[in-house]
Amino acid sequence: MSDSKKNKLDELREKLFAKNETAFSEKYDITDADTFCEGYKAYLDIGKTERLCVKEAIRLAEAKGFVPYERGKALKAGDKIYRNNRGKSIILAVIGQKSMKCGINLAAAHIDSPRVDLKQSPLYESEGLCLFKTHYYGGVKKYQWPAIPLELHGVVALKSGEVVDVSIGNSPDDPVFVITDLLPHLGKDQMAKKATDVISAESMNILCGSRPIDGAKDSDSDAVKLNIMKILNEKYGIVEEDFLSAELSAVPAFSARDIGLDRSMIGAYGHDDRVCAYPSLRALLDLDTPDRTAVCILADKEEIGSEGVSGMKSHFFETFIEDICDTDNSLLRECFENSTCLSTDVMVAMDPNYPEVCEKKNTAFINRGITLCKYTGARGKSGSSDASCELIAKLRALFDDNGILWQMGSLGKVDQGGGGTVAMYMAERNIETIDAGVPVLSMHSPYETVAKADVYMTYKAILTFFEKNR
């Protein structure tokens, strides 16, 4: 082939074929990615549960001038408001120039992550050891949870109305907890089981003590448990029955760390979905007065189906938006039909250790930016809201025109499995919605991995969306 003919074909290729760019192309500015991710790592280390994520979000928001919104109070463009939903989810808004009837730009992430919850009557003693009974929360591979250090976080609500915060294991001097595993020497029967049965849910009991109370005789029953209750009583003023009205969760006692010799990635517990919650929150906090009102919701209970008063199905969401609509006499239904939602949630990333579950041409890759996902679901897109191609076209233009690296992803090979996000619950409200978020390795494991460039690009994408989506 002659040189000129070859050049012609290259030109045609360049013009007609899709490109797979990475964040390291000169086209994209990721200078601030590392600094941004230091803030994210700090958020992860503080926000080990949804309650702790809400607390930290409030601290960050108030530092930027956000105030709790009281129903009926007048609002003007540029006002920064939030509402705390029972300490477990939070919604924040920056009021725009336009009326609420023109719709809002919304980023919806979730701040609950898979974990191991204590049962309502958890504490018992057996074989000289004291343990907590548990019930796992969300989609976990149970075999990943024994033999790793665990922290304990949550609250105990007392009959007096007082709510006591419990937090053990997050500071270097604290003790931690563990679920024990069987030694390989005696694991013959265990290792022959299916992975789903290797660890039974009722054997995920958390070790929390082994020393009997001072003065106990060998024959005394429950002397170790009595000692643990005494320690808890001295520290938190609680008695055993108070567990009945407690919400206590065990989470991995890992802090967020850089991964790789090049420090390009972050390993941590709870990237799903704090890796989208933090960029969504930060984008809202860094926003000047927008054209359309910008809203960020950090929801609870996504991992168990978005149920309950703090989940995305809750009317807490429309109650808040309607309160804002009331201030300029807009109708909620009019606001919703003109609104756009990015359901900011994580996406599976191509993993060279497990390439067989993904179809390469339609899978997200680490370091290729924020990932749009048209549909999730399973078996023929069932249980998915299937975003409109018109919305995708709009976002393609928005991101391409503003130096945002983005890619299209999907949830594995067809019929390989599936899943969902809050997208369908937003779409049901007549809000144009699409999933958009950070690709993750080892999703739902105690230690997930993301790339710093993707976290930063997700922040930039959401900020651009808040600023310019009309």
Q: Is the peptide bond preceding residue 273 cis, with omega within 30 degrees of 0? A: yes
The first and second tokens of residue 235, run together, are 């520290």
Distances in whole angstroms, Cα of residue 384 to Cα of each of 6, 112, 340, 397: 44, 21, 17, 24
Using the contact rule CB under 5 A, the part of the chain among 140-148, 224-232, 249-257, 273-281 near Mn ion is: 273-281
**Near Mn ion in 363-402, by CB under 5 A:** none
Cα gap 51→293, rounded to integer Å: 26
DSSP state of 364: B
Using the contact rule CB under 5 A, the part of the chain among 119-127, 271-279, 402-410, 449-457 near Mn ion is: 271-279
Cα gap 396→394, rounded to integer Å: 5
79/272 with CB nearer Mn ion: 272
Report the b/e string of 114-148 with b at 16+ CB within 10 A: bbbbbeeebbebeeeebbbebebbbebebebbbeb
Using the contact rule CB under 5 A, the part of the chain among 97-105, 316-324, 339-347, 461-469 near Mn ion is: 339-347
Residues 6+ apart with CB under 8 A from 448: 267, 268, 269, 270, 271, 272, 440, 441, 442
Residues 6+ apart with CB under 8 A from 441: 349, 351, 366, 448, 449, 450
Using the contact rule CB under 5 A, the part of the chain among 45-53, 56-64, 226-234, 267-275 near Mn ion is: 267-275
448 makes contact with Mn ion (CB under 5 A): no
79 makes contact with Mn ion (CB under 5 A): no
435 makes contact with Mn ion (CB under 5 A): no
272 makes contact with Mn ion (CB under 5 A): yes
With beta carbons less than 8 A apart as the criterion, state whether 157 and 237 touch: no
Closest contact distance (angstroms) between CB of 139 and Mn ion is: 7
**Near Mn ion in 341-360, by CB under 5 A:** 345
Closest contact distance (angstroms) between CB of 462 and Mn ion is: 16
- Closest by alpha carbon to 277, among 296, 290, 291? 296
85/306 with CB nearer Mn ion: 306
122/279 with CB nearer Mn ion: 279
3 state DSSP class of 66: coil
Q: Per-residue contact track with Mn ion, 167 to 186, x per CB under 5 A?
A: --------------------
467 makes contact with Mn ion (CB under 5 A): no
Closest contact distance (angstroms) between CB of 421 and Mn ion is: 6
In the chain, what is the straight-line distance between the N-terminal and C-terminal CA atoms, in Å? 49
Residue nearest Mn ion by beta-carbon distance? 273
Using the contact rule CB under 5 A, the part of the chain among 243-251, 269-277, 319-327, 399-407 near Mn ion is: 269-277
Closest contact distance (angstroms) between CB of 382 and Mn ion is: 18
User: Applying CB under 5 A, what is the total number of residues that bind Mn ion?
Assistant: 3
**E-only strand ranges, 62-205:** 67-68, 80-85, 89-94, 104-110, 115-126, 129-137, 150-157, 163-168, 178-179
Taking CA 288 as the corner, what is the angle to CA 101 and CA 333, rounded to the nearest 5 degrees?
Answer: 15
273 makes contact with Mn ion (CB under 5 A): yes
229/277 with CB nearer Mn ion: 277
For residue 249, give the H/E element and its range.
strand 246-252
Using the contact rule CB under 5 A, the part of the chain among 69-77, 230-238, 266-274, 361-369 near Mn ion is: 266-274
247/345 with CB nearer Mn ion: 345
300 makes contact with Mn ion (CB under 5 A): no
338/376 with CB nearer Mn ion: 376
Using the contact rule CB under 5 A, the part of the chain among 57-65, 270-278, 308-316, 324-332 near Mn ion is: 270-278
Closest contact distance (angstroms) between CB of 419 and Mn ion is: 7
Distances in whole angstroms, Cα of residue 311 to Cα of each of 153, 231, 426: 20, 34, 12
Residues 6+ apart with CB under 8 A from 420: 376, 377, 383, 384
With beta carbons less than 8 A apart as the criterion, state whether 105 and 294 touch: yes
94/450 with CB nearer Mn ion: 450
146/419 with CB nearer Mn ion: 419
293/343 with CB nearer Mn ion: 343
Q: Name the residues that contact Mn ion, by CB under 5 A.
A: 272-273, 345
